[in-house]
Amino acid sequence: MAEMWINMGPQHPMTHGLWNLRVKVEGETILDAEPVIGYLHRGWEKLTEYRTYPQIIPLSDRLCYGSSMTWSHLYCLTIEDLMGIEVPERAEYIRVVVLELQRIASHLMWIAAYGTDLGLLTAFVYCMRERELFLDLLQSVTGARMTYNYPRIGGVRNDLPPDFERDCLRALDYFEKKIDEYEEIFDGSEIFLMRTRGIGILKPADGMNLGVTGATLRGSGVKIDLRKHDPYSVYDELDWEICTHPDCDCYARYRVRMDEMRMSCQIVREALKKMPAGPIRVKAPRNAPKKTAYARVEDPRGEGLMYVIGNGTDKPYRLKVRSPIFVTVSAVPIMLRGYKVADVPSIMGSVDMCLGETDR
Amino acid sequence: MDLYQFTEGIVSWLVGIVNWLLNWLGFHGLAGWLGSPDVIKFLTLLGESIVLLAVGFIVAITMIWQERKTLGRLMDRRGAMVVGPAGYFQNIADGLKTLLKEYIIPEKADKTPYNWAPVIMIGSSILLLVAIPLSDRFYMTDLDIGLLFIFAVFSITPFAILLGGWASNNKYSLIGGMRSAAQLISYEIPLLLSMVGVVLLAGSLNVGEIVMAQENSVWFIIPQFIGFIVFMIAIVAEVERIPFDLPEAEAELVEGWWTEYGGMRFGLLMLAEYFRGYAGAAVAVLLFLGGWNGPFLPPELWFLIKVFIVFFVFIWLRGSLTRVRIDQILNIGWKRLLPLAMVNIVIAVAIKTLGWI
Amino acid sequence: MTVGVVGARRIAARATRKAVYSLCEHLKNGLSFEHISCVTGVDKVDHLEVVYHVSSYANGCMIEVTVDVPIDDAEVDSVTAIWEGANWHEREAFELFGIRFKNHPKLERLLLPSDLGYYPFRKEFKLRGR
Amino acid sequence: MAEKTKKGKKRTPKLSCYVFRPMYATLKETVRATVHRPDTVLYPWEKLELPDNYRGRPGLVIERCIGCGICMRICPTGCIELVEVEDEQHGKMRRPQMNIGRCMMCGYCAEYCPKNAMIVTPEYELAAYTRQDLIYDPFELQHEYKPGYEVSIVEVLPSELKRGVGEKEPGREGKDRPELSDAKCIGCARCAKICPAFAVEMIQVGVSDKGKPIKRPKFDFSKCVGCEQCVENCPRDALTMKEVL
């Protein structure tokens, strides 16, 4: 067959959102690829320039529906840096708990979508079922299922509900058994291994040069996790490890996310145990000083960074979001070249696309 | 009394009534023509095929329903449950919906092959039903080369798929069609070879005689276990179900070669898919699982029960496995299944030579 | 060029337009800041700014390099040759602020339609409704 | 298990038992789902149990509302508007009207409401036939109150945190307050008229040259809710908000 360009997207089952992957194929082999994004561009950064600081928190939830907590937390972290607010310790611990629950939920959604990409709808339903556990937990804390609007500049919205610790531990115990079941379905299946092993190789040097972060980079064997390397919140007081895998392929990324879910369970347990009493929220000033600030966190998808310029009013002068997937998706041509068209879902699925944060 | 005699009885009775009417009205010539053995035979065959089509249709509908419900339970959900008892009529509702859909032909499609591909597809699938007996009395034809006929008809499908994929003028369809051709052709061979063992043991290509041979000895799944495994894998690939549903791999090729088909054409293709699923499961039952043999229940029922059990295995596979890539599928076909099928033939020859069966 | 430490693992620097490429080269090769996090365009009404956030994997430090760019000659050297990851960030800054990056491999609009005639994130472009 | 397989090697498909492990796992689940009931929540007939603090559409307890407009100011989407309404009990009053079609259920109105008049309700089925139906006037917006529906800000001041104060009851002692710059004030009493909480009182502080009384507003901070309406309506910008930190 001659060379041809195939448009995979903007409406395509592989895309998980609205974007377009132009793939140049010869027969079934991919020669080149070119991601086209921007279908979901809302001008988020411009919108924030017209809103007061607290009003932006629910907006930043909408950056990514899969892990909205991390984004609103990142925003609050940035503004706290800008305003010089010290957050009470209990609030930090509560944040760690909800962030890790959110990370589990986000990874579960990723595995669910990955299963569908590879044609296994059962895994989708199983993972979504267990995600419901964590959504229920987060709902009992925050009052919403997806866009939580929970972190506040200077703390969190409300305290944990009375039975939260018991429910949370119970859910974690149940969930850890379920992870074994997923491993049975995925790792136990020779066909899954065939589809993911040796596919979508991203060499560590390439990954670092391209600015790829998060589980995709850790799947290349690079031991980078901002929770350890640039600790925010109370992550440096907790005992946990960075999960990496040396294989550089889709399977390694899958493995890293699986291990990260286990690690998140461990972090939540420890944070619940160590949680101190005390206030949960500090009053934030209305106006920000004239300076710049930024903060970065380890989003489930990679490194999230927000850069804010305050100008003395109650609205930010400029707020910039560094979205992890925005950079990762610019690196996919390297991962795709030389593989088959059928590998596109398994490679693109393994980087965990989220278009809300990519296009902003 | 077999199906032919049964239908003939009904047809003669109906013709008798009509003839009486015609005679009474004075059309004696027409009545005589209607009463002639050739016309009666033609009408009987027509009636027989309607019965078979109805059976096939009901089985296919039930299979869709079974798939919905079983897949639902596999996924810890409920499946269709609103329309009709346990959602049985959901398929009918879906069929009606597809009938009411707009009839779109893509502007740049090659119209004639685009229109004919579903016809060939559904036609060949229905043709499959002709050669599949439900029991020794419920059959349409008793071909001496029944098995060969079934697989010959099975292999019409890649042609239809390739035609449809090409005519849709869509890159996904084209790739889907190409994949389908490669896959089906490479799976035809292990499929036929795995069948050879059974044919050797039974000493016939006649489906009825193969079942008879199993009734007299053991079900061929026992001496031909390797053959059975090869056959099951190959037949799953042949009827294009997950893990081998590459021609319509939905994650990468949207719907593969069906992408441009909508409305009732899509419905017909879907139905053809299940007709083929039925045929595949039926052949597995006939060759390896003793056909319609079984105690107590009538043989037709036994046959259908076995078919549904085999189809459950298909659904189960679909619910627990991911899709295989095209080069891997060819690898499995040529490098694994083909040698295994050869080994199976050797076993069959050995068993036959030693006279164990 | 000024450099200052602003906090734990936080460095801020201000560079001129001409020096930024060699500075970035030194950051990557000399000081092993191998990860570019972000390239931000800022509209300060009378001039534009480009802000680079570069971090080091070895020690978790992050340096913020600010470069002033005049608004009528908005051009700055591209750092894509140093860090491949800056590619899309620079394209984004180009399309939203009109900052041209010299020697960029493919300086085209990324998020918005390619025939858009203005730079929407500049302050002169006001949102309706608010 | 999987870790033991050699990496980097091109995998050839195995016809080993490897496909049977996921099949066994799903079969277990099937049996479980068939014996017990499946996990589905049959939505129109069954509904999820929602916690009390679930953020559905905002509701209004109209007796508590004082019409201060804080909800209007904090709303990120600008879907709240103060409108004049009338009823027999209270006469004319200004109360929030809400465009539910625009609401994003962030719960800010309930959180920032100083009187807990705005509450979050577990009502989430809000479909309507026209957009006009989605605009809820204050009476439509009313919702039955249940403890747990209200959200309040539980915060400490940064100065208190430094001193080491423990948890604080929900309350608004740390709220921002208006401050008067005496020189600009002309004593027009507009702030006293507009104040929804009746926290401003005009007090005579002296007599002018022409013998007229000079009046200045006096704020009762126990009543003040910090709604800024006096600041906004001051004709001479004599009032500013002072942040309490």
Convert the pLDDT of each residue in C91-119 to its tens digit: 888 888 888 888 888 888 888 887 877 88
Residue for token pair 């038992």: D17
Q: Please report, in tens digits, the pLDDT of each residue of chain D (245 residues total).
A: 333 333 334 444 454 557 777 788 888 888 888 888 777 888 888 888 888 788 888 888 888 888 888 888 888 888 888 888 887 777 777 888 888 888 888 888 888 888 888 888 888 888 889 888 888 888 888 888 888 787 877 777 777 777 766 555 555 566 777 777 777 777 777 888 888 878 788 877 777 777 777 777 887 777 778 787 888 888 887 787 777 77
Same structural domain for residues D236 and D179?
A: yes
| A chain contacts of residue B321, beta-carbon cutoff 8 Å | 119-120, 189, 191
Residue of B nearest to A343 (CA): B325
Which B residues, 77 through 136, put their C-beta within 8 Å of a C-beta on chain A?
77
Q: Does A230 touch chain C (CB under 8 A)?
A: yes
CATH number of the domain where residue D182 is located: 3.30.70.20
Distance from CA of B211 to the nearest CA of A (A): 34
Whether residue B90 lies inside any domain: the answer is no
Q: What is the dihedral of CA A334, A339, A345, A349, to 10 degrees?
A: -40
ipTM over 0.85: no
Please compute the mean of the pLDDT values over residues A348-357 and round it to a whole number. Answer: 83
Q: Does C36 touch chain A (CB under 8 A)?
A: yes
| C chain contacts of residue A212, beta-carbon cutoff 8 Å | 85
| Domain around D113 | 58-141
Class of the CATH domain delimited by A3-359: mainly alpha
Best of D16, D17, D24, D26 to disrupt the B interface by mutation (most B CBs within 10 Å)?
D26
Per the prediction, chain A carries an average pLDDT of 85
- What pLDDT is stored for residue A1 in this prediction? 55
- What pLDDT is stored for residue D165 in this prediction? 63
Please indicate whether residue A161 or residue D186 has the higher confidence score (pLDDT): A161
Chains A and C, touching by 3 or more CB pairs within 8 angstroms: yes
Across the interface, do A13 and B321 touch by the CB < 8 Å criterion? no
| Domain around B313 | 110-354
- What pLDDT is stored for residue B349 in this prediction? 86
AA identity, residue D218: K
The domains of chain C are located at 2-102
AA identity, residue A347: I
Last residue of one domain, picked from the residues D141, D173, D191: D141
- What pLDDT is stored for residue D123 in this prediction? 83
Q: Shortest CB distance from A208 goes to which of C35, C53, C88?
A: C35
Q: Shortest CB distance from D38 goes to which of B77, B332, B335?
A: B77
Residue for token pair 């009032």: D239
Chains C and B, touching by 3 or more CB pairs within 8 angstroms: no
Chain A with chain C: Cβ pairs closer than 8 A: 86
Please compute the mean of the pLDDT values over residues C25-49 and round it to a whole number. Answer: 85
Chain A with chain D: Cβ pairs closer than 8 A: 143
Report d(CA B198, CA B222) in Å as an integer: 11
Same structural domain for residues D168 and D229?
A: yes
Same structural domain for residues D135 and D163?
A: no
| pTM value surpassing 0.90 | no
Q: Spell A60-81 as b/e; 16+ CB within 10 A means b.
A: bbbbbbbbbbbbbbbbbbbbbb
Whether residue D173 lies inside any domain: the answer is yes
Structure tokens belonging to residue D41: 């929540």
Residues of chain B with pLDDT under 70: 1, 249-251, 357
- What pLDDT is stored for residue D174 in this prediction? 65
Q: What's the gap between Cα A177 and its chain centre? A: 23
Report d(CA D226, CA B225) in Å as an integer: 83
Distance from CA of A97 to the nearest CA of C (A): 24
Report d(CA B356, CA B201) in Å as an integer: 10
> Counting Cβ atoms within 10 Å, is residue A222 exposed (0-12), middle (13-18) or buried (19+)?
buried
- What pLDDT is stored for residue D16 in this prediction? 53
Structure tokens belonging to residue B246: 């590459």
Q: Shortest CB distance from D25 goes to which of A57, A185, A246?
A: A185
Same structural domain for residues D133 and D164?
A: no
Count of structural domains within chain B: 1
Whether residue D187 lies inside any domain: the answer is yes
Whether residue D17 lies inside any domain: the answer is no
The domains of chain A are located at 3-359
Whether residue D147 lies inside any domain: the answer is no
- What pLDDT is stored for residue D171 in this prediction? 53
Across the interface, do D23 and B317 touch by the CB < 8 Å criterion? yes
CATH number of the domain where residue D85 is located: 3.30.70.3270
Q: Check: CB of residue B132 under 8 Å from CB of residue B189.
A: no
pLDDT digits (tens, 9 = 90+) for A269-280: 888 888 888 888
Could you tell me which CATH number the domain at C2-102 has?
3.30.460.80
Report d(CA A243, CA A224) in Å as an integer: 9
- What pLDDT is stored for residue D5 in this prediction? 35
Whether residue B9 lies inside any domain: the answer is no
Distance from CA of A238 to the nearest CA of C (A): 18
Report d(CA D211, CA D158) in Å as an integer: 47
Same structural domain for residues D134 and D173?
A: no
- What pLDDT is stored for residue D3 in this prediction? 36
- DSSP collapsed to 3 states, chain D: CHHHCCCCCCCCCCCCHHHHHHHHHHHHHHHHHHHCCCCCCCCCCCCCCCCCCCCCCEEECCCCCCCCCHHHHHCCCCCEEEEEEEECCCEEEEEEEEECCCCCCCCHHHHHCCCCCEEECCCCCCCCCCCHHHEECHHHHECCCCCCCCCCCCCECHHHHHHCCCCCCCCCCCCCEEEECCCCCCCCCHHHHHCCCCCEEEEEEEECCCCCEEEEEEECCCCCCCCCHHHHHCCCCCEEEECCC
- What pLDDT is stored for residue A339 in this prediction? 84
Structure tokens belonging to residue D200: 């401003």
Please compute the mean of the pLDDT values over residues A98-115 and round it to a whole number. Answer: 88
Q: Among positive and negative, which fits the CA dihedral D179, D185, D189, D191?
A: negative
Across the interface, do A143 and D120 touch by the CB < 8 Å criterion? yes
- pLDDT of residue A220 exceeding 80: yes
Whether residue D20 lies inside any domain: the answer is no
